[in-house]
Structure 1
Amino acid sequence: MDLNYLKQQIDKGAVSKDNITVVRRDGELVDIHLPNEPISADEVLEVMDLESMLREVFGY
């Protein structure tokens, strides 16, 4: 997951810190999802707040 890209999208207003839609593949958090982006059959979307997402990324 590219956290710099996430920050850019938050700064642009494309993503809210309160409700970040993340992409999971095989249970692993792999990316953020922007509106109208396609997902593949092996991906699942989940809505998380920023703090929960960062906790998972950094293992806290």
Structure 2
Amino acid sequence: MAHTSHKAAAKSHEDAAKAHHSAAEHHEKGDHGNAHEHSEKAHKNSEAAHKHSTDAHSKSTAAKSK
């Protein structure tokens, strides 16, 4: 269902945003190792968000044309 995909996309976007904030905080402290880990996590969550967003859009478009 489209709403499930939209919720999954929103969750992934939120998780990516949190990881980006954590990466920024670690960079500010000069803790580049942990900043890199959070940056990687943000990237993975962003990729997941894109996948879920694409899926949600496809399902919404399919439901609209019925």
Same topology, TM > 0.5: no
Q: Which structure's residues are more often helix, by fraction?
A: 2
Higher strand share goes to which structure? 1
Higher relative contact order (CA 8 A, sep 6+): 2
TM-score by length of 2: 0.28
| TM-score of the pair, normalised by structure 1 | 0.30
Instruction: Give the structure with higher Rg (CA).
Output: 2
